[in-house]
Structure formats: C-alpha cells, structure tokens
Structure 1
Amino acid sequence: MAERLLGTVLRHDQEDQTSRPTLGEIGLNHFAPYLMNRVMARWNADIAEELKAHGLTTAKMRALAVLSVSASLTINELSVFAVTEQSTMSRTLEALEEQGYILRRPRAGDLRIRDVSITEEGRAAFDKFWPSMYDSLLKMFDGVTDEEYRAFTAVLHKILVNIRKHDI
C-alpha cells in the first residue's frame, strides 16, 4: 500500500464541513489513528510473547510499570495510567496482590479509597522484565534520532491533551 497523500489532512480552518477529505484521499498510510493502532498492536503482541516467559500478562506489566514510577495510586488513577478498564484492573490487582507484587491499603482520610503501591517483589519482577521492554522500544525506534523522538513524544502529549477525559 504505497499510496500518496493528496492534499491536506488537517483542515482546521474549514467552516464548510462538506470539504472534509475522504479516507481514500488521505490514505491509510497517512491516517494517524490507523498507523498508531498498527504500531501499538505490534508492540503489544511482541511484549505479550515476552511477558509469558516472565509469568506476567499485559495488564499486570502495565500496572507494575506505572507503580514502579509512582509512590501509590488509587485503582481509578492506575486504570487511567495503565490504559486498562477499571474492572480488568481490579481483577489484575487481586492477582498481583496474591503474587505479593502489590499492596492495597485503605486511605487514612477516606477508608473507601484504596491506595495501591508496588512491593519489593513486584519491583523485582518488573525490573526483570524491563530489559525486554526497553529492547523493544529500541527496536521500534531504530533509525530515529533523539531529536525526532523528543518531537514525536511532544506531539503525542498535545494529542493526549486534546482527547483525554481525565485530568491525569
């Protein structure tokens, strides 16, 4: 699929909504959501294979990754950061707690809220997997300069601000 982009994709200043380009005019190879889905589907598939060798699932890895750089989070916050449905996160946290990888404690000021934190065992499990995760990152960005990587992540942050539903 080596189509060419004909015209402008982002027509922000168009008052006439009928002048939207068609997907055919944009082409899949220039439609950012399609490309992001392909990239993340490949990343997730590659990571899932590696995770099996470490006795982890994608949801567990995401939770441990987020908790490895956070003091503690609520289940809702962790669900947002780990990009996982809250019901899936609750089941994941039960399994991680059984493995001794996380602790869930009621918050002192509000016993309805549970704060989740990583244990030393959980940190060790994540640290064991981190080299595989980082190597996948390097593979994904092979040939990309540090400057391009910084620009790319800056654009992703702008997009996230535009679409996010949470303040975090």
Structure 2
Amino acid sequence: MSEDTETHARLGEIGLTNFAPYLMNRIMGRYNAMIREEMADVGLTTPKMRTLAVLSVVEGPLIRELAVYTVVEQSTLSRALDQLQTEGLIRREADASDSRAVRVFLTDAGRATFETLWPHMATSAARLFKGIPDEEQRAFVATLQKMLANIRKHEI
C-alpha cells in the first residue's frame, strides 16, 4: 500500500496531544506570543522579525529565497521589506547576474535592532527546552531537520 492510499487512524483516535502538527503549531504559537511584546517594543512584526533573523545569518538572499527562509508569503514579505527599508533596517540591491532579481541585506541599524531582540528570542527558545537534557534537544532538532527534508519543496 502506498503512502497516499494507506489507512490512517482518525484524529479522534490519535488525540490532539499525540498529533505532531498540532503540537508544533501550539509550540510556535506560544513561542511567538512570548516574544511578541519585545518585538512590538522595537517596532517589529513577526514577518519583520523573521526577516531580520534570517538576514543576520544569511548574507544577501534573493527575495524568493528569503520568503522560503522566513516562511512568509511573498506579498506579506514585500510589505515587510518596504517597511524595513523605510526604517533603514535593510537595503535591497539588484542581483549582479540578473538585474530583475533583488537581493536583501541587513544594514548596521538592522543588525543592531535584531541584536536587541535576540536575547528575548534565545531566552524564549531556551524556555521551550527547560528540563530537557542536551542529548534529547539535539535528537529533537535532528528529527525536525529530517521532517523538514521530508516535506521540503525548495533546496533551502
């Protein structure tokens, strides 16, 4: 029987607390809520925060790549980029090999803004793993990486 045709237990049989996608959504909802106030204090929304976070570690991605990394729809990302550029936190440049493509870079002000938020993000992430040994944390992250590879649509 293929994956597409095999019979799966019903959600009521599994239960919400045993359904990984539900748990992942709950966890990320709580994580985002934990840092929302700090984001607001520095004038950031979730798409803007994700953009600054990605740009702090990925140098000059194309906008389409940035949309994948940030898990933000391109139309929403475009509005966030407009605001971030107006605020002087990012800059956009035409790609050297394709003038129709645009790369996005973090400015010094953008890096400083992200560095203000990072301790709150790190503390919130650490809170997720409270009481979980390092070995289990590493195994969990490795499992998430495998799960992402299973569903990945993009190379990144």
Q: Does TM, scored on the shorter chain, surpass 0.5?
A: yes
- Give the share of equivalent positions with the same residue, in percent: 53
Q: How many residue pairs end up in the alignment?
A: 156
Aligned residue for 2:152?
Answer: 164
Aligned residue for 2:6?
Answer: 17
Q: Name the SS for the 1:69 alignment partner.
A: coil
CA distance in 2, matches of 1:27, 1:46: 26
- From 42, 54, 73, give the equivalent of 1:54: 42
CA distance in 2, matches of 1:164, 1:95: 29
Q: Could you say what the CA RMSD is over the residues aligned between the two structures, in angstroms?
A: 1.8
Q: Which has the larger radius of gyration?
A: 1
Q: Which digits, 9 at most, give the CA deviation of each residue in 1:39-82, with x for residues without a partner?
A: 11111122212211111111111000000001110111001001
**Higher relative contact order, chain-length normalized (CA < 8 Å, sep 6+):** 2
CA distance in 1, matches of 2:126, 2:99: 43
Aligned residue for 2:68?
Answer: 80
Structure 2: gaps (5+ residues)? none
Structure 1: gaps (5+ residues)? 1-11
State the TM-score, normalized to the length of structure 2: 0.94
Check whether the contact 1:47–1:58 (CA below 8 A) recurs between aligned residues.
no
Aligned residue for 1:122?
Answer: 110
Deviation for aligned residue 1:26: 1.2
